[in-house]
């Protein structure tokens, strides 16, 4: 297993056109015509993962497709998974991957994190993020605030999308009645709101590689 690489380095590699970086993971969606096709692809992925002894491989099998997530360092495994899908005649749809997290504004994170950890049955990742051990539900992130914001909602969704789909997703949300709150941090993230002011962020990896720490957004670690 090689050292971790940046999102930009991953996307610059050859043979990973099916994959998109979402925070600290890379994901690909393969559309199948049946559950049987999905099982065949999942079996092939399992064999590859076993051969390479990868610790972080997430496979979500549904009747119409398979979504795979890897660590960014696993460039070669991503290539080989794409090759298995092509051999099975299963196309990739890079536009179909996303990662949704819930973010809660807090004044003292240590006071509220134990409550949410107990309520959700999640595990703590650091002192400001909770993740679903089964990787089924969205993560919960705590965003430190300097002062209370009584006139704004304290909970919002963070939606990580492929970098080449962000503008289309934003345009669709605006056309559906939303409005832009801020693009001050674009293209890392945009803040949108619905007609009643409930906020959500659309996030990409672009620009994060240039920050002092590439940990903006949820931290996804190897299990």
- Model's pTM, two decimal places? 0.84
Helix (H) or strand (E) holding 90: none
pLDDT score, position 214: 41
Tell me how far apart the alpha carbons of residues 87 and 75 are, in angstroms, rounded to a whole number. Answer: 19
For the chain of 223 residues, list the mean pLDDT of each consecutive stretch of 10.
81 96 94 96 92 79 95 94 97 95 92 94 93 91 86 87 95 96 95 92 84 42 34
Burial 147-185 (b: 16+ CB within 10 A, else e): eeeeeeeeebebbbbbbebbeebbeebeeeebeeeeeee
> What is the predicted pLDDT for the residue at 218?
46
Domains of the chain: 7-93 (3.30.1360.20), 101-209 (3.10.180.10)
Alpha-carbon distance 25 to 220, whole Å?
A: 7
pLDDT at 138: 93
Q: Are 5 and 73 in contact (CB under 8 A)?
A: yes
């Amino acid at each position: 297993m090689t050292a971790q690489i940046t999102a930009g380095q991953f996307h610059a590699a050859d043979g990973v056109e099916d994959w998109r970086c979402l925070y600290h993971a890379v994901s690909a969606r393969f559309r199948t015509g049946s559950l049987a096709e999905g099982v065949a692809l999942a079996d092939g992925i399992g064999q590859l993962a076993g051969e390479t002894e990868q610790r972080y491989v997430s496979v979500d099998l549904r009747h119409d497709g398979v979504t795979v997530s890897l660590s960014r360092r696993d460039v070669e495994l991503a290539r080989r998974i794409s090759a298995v899908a092509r051999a099975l005649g299963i196309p990739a749809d890079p536009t179909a991957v996303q990662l949704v997290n819930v973010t809660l504004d807090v004044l003292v994170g240590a006071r509220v994190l134990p409550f949410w950890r107990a309520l959700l049955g999640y595990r703590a990742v650091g002192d400001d993020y909770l993740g679903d051990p089964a990787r089924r539900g969205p993560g919960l992130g705590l965003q430190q605030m300097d002062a209370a914001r009584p006139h704004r909602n304290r909970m919002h969704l963070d939606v990580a999308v492929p970098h080449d789909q962000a503008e289309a997703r934003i345009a669709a949300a605006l056309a559906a009645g939303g409005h832009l709150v801020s693009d001050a941090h674009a293209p890392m993230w945009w803040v949108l709101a619905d007609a009643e002011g409930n906020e959500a962020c659309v996030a990409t990896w672009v620009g994060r590689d240039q920050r002092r720490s590439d940990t903006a957004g949820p931290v996804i670690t190897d299990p």
